[in-house]
Structure 1
C-alpha cells in the first residue's frame, strides 16, 4: 500500500476521496437537498447492499471461472451452463428432500463430476489450443442449454429459503430521522447477508489454499511449467482434474445461491458467463482477490445503475470494463 501511494500519489488521493465520500453517504444523515437529488437514503442503501450481495453471487461464479480460465488457462465458455445446471439440481433436491443445505452439497458434487468429465474428455485432449477450446465449449454450452430446456422446461424456478433465514434483519444504518428525533434503520433480508458471509469465507479459503498450501504451489507451478513438474513425479493431470472439479463445483453452489434469492430460468447461463468474463477482466486473470474486487464493482454498478440510470444500467458495467482495459489491461489485481 505504501509503495502504491509513493508511485501513484494522485490516484491514491482520488481513491481516498472516493472512499471518504462513500462512507459519508452510507453513515451520515442526508440533508434534504441531497435527498432531492438522489432520492431517499433507504433506496440508496438498499441498492448498495443489493450490489454487495449480488457481488457475492458473481464472485462464487467467477472464482470458479478464474480457477479454470485465469489460472489453468482453459477457455471454458460452458461455465455459465454449469451455474444453471447447479441451480436446477439444487432446486430438484430441495423439493425432493426439503433441505436447503443438502441442495448445496448435491449441486457441488454433481456439477463437480460434470467438470471432471469435461476436463478428462475435452480439455485434456486439446490442451493449449485456445481456439479449439473456445469452439468446443460454445458447442457444449448450446447442447447443455437444450438438454436443460428439455428436462426442466422454460419456467422460472426459485428455491425456498429456510425458515431460520426468512425475514429481514435490522442493520445499524440510519435511513431517516423522524420529526420526534427517532432514527429509522435499514431492514435487509437475512438470507442475502448469510450468503454473502459464506462467499467471503469461501474466497478467503480459496486464497489460502492457493497461496499457503503445497497443493496451491503445485497448481501454480504446473500452469507455468507442467513438464518440469511432471518430471519431478507430480501427477499434474490429477491435480488439474481436481482443480477443474472445484471450479465447476463452485459454479454449482452459485447456481443454488442464485436460485435462492433470485430465480433460475433459460438464459441465465449466458448472463452469468458474461458477468464472469467481465469480473475476471476487471479483477485480473488468475487472481482470487481480483475476482472479489471485480465482482463487487460489477454488482454495485448493476444495482446503482438500475436505480439511478435504469435505461443505461448495463452500459455502466461494460464502460467500467473498457476503462480498466484502457488504463490497466492486465486487470486491477492481476496475479503475478
Structure 2
C-alpha cells in the first residue's frame, strides 16, 4: 500500500471528521444544555442541504447557498423549539424520542412535497474545483481541503463563543444549573431557543458543505445523525472539545479501517473472503471504538464525572 494512498485516506478521514463535528457540536449543545434527546437533528442537516441546493440553482452563488442553508436550518430549529420541543423539557426521554421521531417523518414528507423524491445536486464552485498539489506530489481535491479548514475554523469560533463570551457563560451555566440562572434573571426560554437555533445552523452548514460532494436527497440526515450520537458519546456529552476529538477519531477510524482491515485479513484469508470480512469489521470499527472508550471512561473522553 503506497504512502500517497495512506495520506489521501487520512485527509479523507479528517474531512469526514470535521463534517461530523458540525453535526455533533449542535447535538451536544442541545443535549448538554437542555437534556433533550433530539432525533430530528438530522432533519435540520437535510433542510440545510436542500436550502443550499435550491438557492444555488436560483442564484448561482455558492456563498449565498451556505448563508441560506444556515438561515433555513436555524429558522426551522427555532420554530420547532417554540412549537414542539419547549413542551418536552420536563418530559421523560421516551416522550422526547417519540416526539422528535415524529418530526423526522414530518420533515421528510414535507421536503418530498416541496422538492420531489428525486435527488438534487449542488455544484462545487469553480474557484474550489479540481485538485491541488500537496508536498510530495500528492494530488488532492481542493474543495475537501477547504472543508477541513472550514470545519476547524468553526470549531475555533465555537470554542471562543462558549469559553470567552457572555452568551457562552450563560450556556455553560444553563448546562450546570438552569434553575439558578433563571433565578438570576436570565430568560431561560430565550436561551434555549437560541441554543437550539445555533445547533440547527451548524447542522444546516454541514448539510450544505457535504451536499456539494454527494447528492442531496430526502433522508440523508439520519445516517449522519447516528454517527453524531457516536461522536458525542465518545467525546463526552456537553463538551465541544470532546465533540471535535470524537469526530476526528470516528472519521479516521471509519476511513482508515475501510482500507487497512481488508489488507490485514488478506494475510490469513483468501482475497475474496478477506475483502468481505474486512469490510464487515470496518463498518463495526467505530462502535468497537465507542465501546472501548466507554469501558475506559464511562462519561466519554472529556465528559464531566459525577
* Same topology, TM > 0.5: yes
1:311 is aligned to 280
1:79 is aligned to 41
**In the aligned structure 1, how far is the partner of 2:3 from the partner of 2:219?**
33
1:145 is aligned to 108
**In the aligned structure 2, how far is the partner of 1:159 from the partner of 1:236?**
38
Matches within 5 A, 1:125-274: 125-129=87-91, 130-172=93-135, 174=136, 185-274=137-226
Q: Is the 8 A contact 2:74 2:197 kept in 1?
A: yes
Instruction: Work out the number of aligned pairs and report it.
Output: 287
Q: 2:82 aligns with which of 120, 135, 143?
A: 120
1:43-75 C-alpha deviation (Å, 9 max, x unpaired)? 211111100011111111111111112333121
Q: Is the 8 A contact 1:78 1:138 kept in 2?
A: yes
Q: 1:321 aligns with which of 283, 290, 293?
A: 290
2:263 is aligned to none
Whether 1:105 aligns to 2:67 is yes
1:335, distance to aligned residue in structure 2 (A): 4.5
- SS state at 1:44 partner: helix
**In the aligned structure 1, how far is the partner of 2:118 from the partner of 2:294?**
37
TM-score scaled by structure 1?
A: 0.82
1:331, distance to aligned residue in structure 2 (A): 0.7
Alignment RMSD (CA, Å) = 1.5
**In the aligned structure 2, how far is the partner of 1:297 from the partner of 1:331?**
13
Q: 2:2 aligns with which of 18, 29, 40?
A: 40
> What residue ranges of structure 1 are gaps of 5+ in the alignment?
1-38, 175-184
TM-score scaled by structure 2?
A: 0.90
Whether 1:89 aligns to 2:51 is yes
**In the aligned structure 1, how far is the partner of 2:254 from the partner of 2:138?**
21
Q: Is the 8 A contact 1:48 1:304 kept in 2?
A: yes
Q: Is the 8 A contact 2:32 2:175 kept in 1?
A: no
2:15 is aligned to 53
2:252 is aligned to 300
Q: 1:330 aligns with which of 287, 292, 299?
A: 299
**In the aligned structure 2, how far is the partner of 1:105 from the partner of 1:312?**
39
> What residue ranges of structure 2 are gaps of 5+ in the alignment?
261-277
